C-alpha cells in the first residue's frame, strides 16, 4: 500500500465487517506527526484478540489463513518511527490509531482521504461516517448525519450530485486549513 489513505480504506473494511453503523475517522497533523484514528461501534474483540491482532496470523477470514490489514498498517507506521495501537471492547467497538512521522523518508503520502471517505459513503449508505481533518490552522468536520438531515429520506447519499457536493466541500474546507499540501 503506497498511501496512508489506502490503509485507512482497508481498516474501514474491518469496521464494516464488524457490523458498525457509525465509523469516525480523524486525521490530525501537528507539523511533525500525522495521527490517524479510526473508531467504530462494531462487535469489538475480546482483550486477547485485540492484543494479538497486530500479529499477521490472526484473522477471522476463511479464504486465507492470515490477516494482513492491521499488520501492514502497523509496519508502515513503525517504518517512520511511529506506532500503531488497537483498543477494543467486545460489544462496544474498536479504536485503531496510527502515528506517522510525516517528514521521515519512508513515510508514504497521505493520499486522497476524500476518495477513501466518499467511496465508503457511497458503498455503505446505511452506515454513518464522521470525518475530521485537523491542522495547526484549523479543522474540518464532516458528518453524513448532517447531510442526511438536509437531504431527508428521499434523496440517498449515493445520488451523483450529492457525491460531487461531498467531494468538493470536503476538499475545499481541507484546503482552507492548509491540509491540501498534506493530502
Ligand X SMILES: Nc1ncnc2c1ncn2[C@@H]1O[C@H](COP(=O)(O)OP(=O)(O)OP(=O)(O)O)[C@@H](O)[C@H]1O
**Residues engaged in binding ligand X (CB under 6 A):** 14-15, 18, 40, 42-45, 53, 58-61, 67-71, 94
Q: Spell out where 14-164 has E strands.
A: 22-29, 33-40, 83-89, 93-101, 128-135, 138-143
Q: How far apart are CA 98 and CA 104, in angstroms?
A: 15
The reply to whether 115 sits near another protein by the rule CB under 8 A is yes
Name which position in 31, 48, 57, 64 contacts another protein (CB under 8 A).
64
Q: Residue 66 has what DSSP assignment?
A: S
Give whichever of 31 and 152 is closer to another protein, judged by the CB atom: 152
User: Within a 10 A sphere around the Cβ of 8, how many other Cβ atoms?
Assistant: 25
The site string for another protein over 145-164 (x = CB under 8 A, - otherwise) reads -xx--xxx-xxx-xxxxxxx
Nine cell digits for residue 181? 499540501
42 binds, among Mg ion, ligand X, another protein, none (CB under 5 to 8 A by kind): ligand X
SS3 per residue for 117-145: HHHHHHHCCCCEEEEEEEECCEEEEEEHH
Among 31, 48, 57, 63, binds another protein (CB under 8 A): 63
Q: Find how far residue 109's CA is from the centre of its chain.
A: 15
**Shortest Å distance, C-beta 153 to another protein:** 11
If binding is defined by CB under 5 A, does position 108 make contact with Mg ion? no
Say which entry of Mg ion, ligand X, another protein, none residue 161 contacts (CB below 5 to 8 A, set by partner kind).
Answer: another protein
Residue 26, binding choice from Mg ion, another protein, ligand X, none, Cβ under 5 to 8 Å by partner class: none
Q: Can residue 58 be called a binding residue for another protein (CB under 8 A)? A: no
The partner residues of 97 in beta bridges, in order of sequence, read: 37, 85
Amino acid at each position: 500500500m503506497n498511501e496512508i489513505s489506502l490503509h485507512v480504506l482497508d481498516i474501514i473494511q474491518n469496521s464494516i465487517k464488524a457490523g458498525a453503523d457509525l465509523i469516525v475517522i480523524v486525521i490530525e497533523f501537528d507539523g511533525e506527526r500525522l495521527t490517524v484514528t479510526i473508531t467504530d461501534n462494531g462487535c469489538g474483540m475480546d482483550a486477547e484478540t485485540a492484543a494479538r491482532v497486530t500479529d499477521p496470523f490472526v484473522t477471522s477470514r476463511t479464504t486465507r489463513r492470515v490477516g494482513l490489514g492491521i499488520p501492514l498498517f502497523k509496519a508502515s507506521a513503525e517504518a517512520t518511527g511511529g506506532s500503531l495501537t488497537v483498543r477494543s471492547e467486545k460489544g462496544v467497538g474498536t479504536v485503531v490509531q496510527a502515528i506517522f512521522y510525516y517528514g521521515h523518508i519512508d513515510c508514504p503520502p497521505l493520499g486522497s482521504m476524500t476518495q477513501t471517505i466518499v467511496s465508503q459513503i457511497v458503498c455503505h449508505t446505511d452506515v454513518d461516517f464522521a470525518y475530521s481533518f485537523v491542522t495547526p490552522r484549523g479543522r474540518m468536520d464532516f458528518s453524513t448525519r448532517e447531510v442526511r438531515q438536509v437531504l431527508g429520506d428521499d434523496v440517498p447519499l449515493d445520488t451523483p450530485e450529492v457525491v460531487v457536493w461531498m467531494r468538493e466541500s470536503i476538499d475545499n474546507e481541507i484546503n482552507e486549513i492548509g491540509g491540501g499540501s498534506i493530502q
